């Protein structure tokens, strides 16, 4: 049965209308004839861009600014949003009434598997976006038919279902929330790749009330582990060296497929993007290519031509001899540390700060104190940065600024020709910006006006 036929007349509740790509999935369901309830805690004004796209569909009903338990009863399927609370009463209501609960990426991956496509899934605290892009560019250079998605901004997956064939390779970037859906669906990618594992999202993963000894980190790793827990002996798990030990220790007896650990990248391979962390990422992409029998010659050509991903240590421009980089997707201390190590902290002014995720900051403070200066943005995590920097001996600290443009102006006042300005927040964005992409776009706009 085709996907369109499968969804016809199905009663589907979509929990989280979204602004970053989910609207395309809802549109596909509506075009397929599903009976849809779309419910979101955001109000009509905030969701206006998505509502405009869907305005002509009479088979979509909306519950906005709230959720209602009634919308989760008597349905054939509930599709929940990433980040839905683990103890959500609405998800519990669906389960109570025997309604399957899934997520967009898991739903797409299930259909892809049934249609014979190969699914490559990539997860990790750091590196997953870049590795996803690298794998995709290598496969395309090799002439493969590729569908790329998952965490990719502004993309929807379900509209690609009609394109799937046995010759398609699906490359999915999968965060821990999307992998919750894989766990609920009891599926894993044919090739699972795990880049790195660090503390993250501890404002969400607060431990498991049903298992008091299970920490937030354990719960976070448990969701990540769905990248391989439902693999078979025909499948492959590729680990980065940073995550190898913890996966083998915690889950070694649950790995059913072939296990590979990516080796380092040859010094003869010259990447355009800076940093040892990007050479690590390229080595992981190369491991996928080799597993798919793509020659090193093709992989080298593709990876050496790869120019990076927007918002990930992205070089924007040079102003009066000062290079400016946008690393807005840095939402953890480790990613900002990696960016500083790639560029060299001594001649770098860092613009950082934002919304706290309750992550350890000692390592970040130690690296920031090596920087030429730190310009801080306002946010719940910023006071902790100041405190940690003071304990570490402190770099020159400026701010916090509640508006981005003055922060950039201050950074420009502090630099000399040959220096670097690095926008790498190390925190999430939600107090000053809609999301990390909005944050990055605002930074780009400020820089282009310089």
Same domain, 88 and 188: no
Q: What is the pLDDT of residue 213?
A: 45
* pLDDT of the residue at 203: 74
Residue 126, marked binder: yes
Indicate whether 72 and 113 sit together in one domain: no
pTM: 0.88
Q: What CA–CA distance (Å, rounded) separates 207 from 214?
A: 6
Cite the DSSP H helix spans in 369-435.
382-392, 404-414
Q: CATH number, domain at 345?
A: 3.90.190.20
Report the interhelical angle of 436-448 vs 404-414 (nearest 10°): 50
> Are residues 94 and 40 part of one domain?
yes
127 is in an annotated binding site: yes
Give the C-alpha distances (Å, rounded to integers) separating 322 from 25, 154, 227, 272, 319: 42, 31, 41, 19, 5
328 and 367: one domain? yes
pLDDT tens profile 348-378: 999 999 998 888 898 999 999 999 999 999 9
Q: Which of 194, 308, 316, 313 minimizes the C-alpha distance to 261?
A: 194
Q: What is the mean pLDDT of each run of 10 residues along the chain (450 residues)?
A: 82 85 88 96 91 95 96 96 89 95 95 96 95 98 95 80 95 95 96 93 65 70 97 98 96 97 95 95 98 98 96 95 96 94 95 90 92 95 86 79 97 96 94 91 96
Which of 74, 102, 130 is where one domain is finished?
102
Same domain, 160 and 91: no
Residues 55 and 92 grouped into a single domain = yes
Looking at 68, 102, 136, the residue that finishes a domain is 102
CA 409/CA 413 separation, integer angstroms: 6
> Strands 373-377, 11-15: parallel, antiparallel or unpaired by DSSP?
unpaired
pLDDT at 132: 97
Q: 210 and 322, same structural domain?
A: no
Enter the DSSP assignment of 387. H
DSSP-based three-state secondary structure for 443: helix
Range of the domain at 326: 314-448
Residue 133 sits in the same domain as residue 263: yes
Same domain, 232 and 371: no
Strands 258-261 and 236-239: parallel
Q: Are residues 70 and 150 in the same domain?
A: no
- Give the total number of structural domains in the chain: 3
Retrieve residue 142's tokens: 């090799």
Tell me if 373 is assigned to a ligand binding site: no
Closest Cα partner for 434 from 106, 50, 54, 178? 50
Give the model's pLDDT for residue 96.
95
Say how many residues make up the chain: 450
**Residue 319 shares a structural domain with residue 438:** yes
Q: Residue 239 in 3-state DSSP?
A: strand
Q: How much is the pLDDT for 404?
A: 97
Which among 147, 106, 104, 134 has a CA at the least distance from the CA of 16? Answer: 104
Residue 156, domain CATH: 3.40.1190.10
Q: Which pLDDT value is given to residue 21? A: 61
Contact 425, 354 (CB under 8 A): yes
Cβ atoms of 445 and 405 within 8 Å: the answer is no
Please indicate, yes or no, whether residues 32 and 74 belong to a single structural domain of this protein: yes
pLDDT of residue 86: 84
Q: What is the CATH number of the domain that holds 94?
A: 3.40.50.720
Distance CA 332, CA 349 (A): 18
What pLDDT shows up at residue 202? Answer: 73
CA-CA-CA-CA torsion for 409, 414, 416, 422, nearest 10 degrees? -70
CB 429 within 8 A of CB 355: yes
Give residue-wise pLDDT tens across range 217-274: 888 999 999 999 999 999 999 999 999 999 999 999 999 999 999 989 999 999 999 9
Residue with tokens 């997956």: 157
- Rounded (10°) angle between helices 276-291 and 296-305: 140
Q: Looking at 280, 305, 330, which one is the last position of a domain?
A: 305
């Amino acid at each position: 049965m085709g996907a369109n036929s499968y969804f016809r007349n199905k009663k589907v509740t979509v929990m989280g209308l979204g602004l970053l790509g989910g609207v395309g999935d809802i549109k596909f369901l509506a075009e397929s004839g599903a009976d849809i309830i779309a419910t979101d805690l955001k109000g009509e004004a905030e969701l206006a861009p998505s509502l405009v796209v869907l305005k002509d569909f009479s088979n979509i009903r909306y519950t906005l600014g709230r959720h209602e338990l009634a919308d989760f009863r008597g349905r054939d399927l509930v599709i929940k949003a990433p980040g839905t609370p683990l103890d959500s009463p609405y998800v519990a209501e669906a389960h109570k009434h025997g309604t399957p609960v899934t997520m967009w990426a898991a739903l797409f991956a299930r259909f892809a598997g049934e249609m014979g496509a190969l699914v490559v899934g990539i997860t990790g605290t750091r590196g997953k976006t870049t590795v996803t892009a690298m794998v995709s560019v290598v496969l395309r250079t090799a002439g493969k038919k590729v569908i790329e998605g998952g965490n990719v901004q502004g993309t929807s997956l379900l509209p690609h279902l009609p394109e799937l064939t046995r010759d398609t390779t699906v490359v999915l970037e999968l965060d821990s929330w999307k992998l919750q859906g894989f766990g609920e669906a009891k599926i894993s990618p044919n090739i699972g790749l795990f880049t790195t594992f660090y503390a993250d999202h501890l404002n969400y993963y607060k431990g498991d009330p049903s298992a008091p000894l299970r920490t937030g980190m354990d719960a976070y790793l448990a969701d990540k582990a769905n990248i391989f827990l439902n693999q078979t002996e025909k499948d492959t798990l590729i680990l980065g060296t940073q995550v190898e030990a913890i996966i083998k220790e915690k889950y070694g007896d649950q790995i059913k497929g072939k296990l590979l650990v990516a080796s380092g990248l040859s010094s003869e391979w010259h990447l355009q993007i800076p940093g040892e962390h990007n050479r690590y990422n390229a080595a992981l992409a190369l491991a996928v290519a080799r597993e798919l029998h793509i020659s090193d010659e093709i992989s080298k050509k593709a990876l050496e031509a790869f120019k990076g991903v927007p918002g990930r240590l992205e070089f924007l421009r040079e102003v009066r001899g000062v290079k400016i980089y946008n690393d807005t997707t840095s939402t953890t201390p480790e990613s900002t540390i990696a960016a500083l190590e790639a560029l060299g902290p001594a001649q770098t002014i860092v613009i950082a700060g934002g919304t706290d995720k309750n992550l350890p900051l000692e390592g970040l403070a130690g690296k920031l104190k090596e920087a030429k200066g730190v310009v801080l943005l306002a946010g719940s995590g910023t006071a902790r940065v100041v405190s940690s920097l003071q304990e570490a001996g402190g770099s020159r600290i400026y701010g916090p600024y509640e508006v981005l443009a003055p922060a950039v102006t201050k950074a420009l006042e502090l630099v000399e020709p040959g220096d670097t300005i690095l926008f790498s927040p190390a925190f999430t964005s939600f107090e000053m910006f809609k999301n990390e992409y909005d944050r990055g776009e605002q930074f780009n706009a400020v820089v282009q006006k310089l």
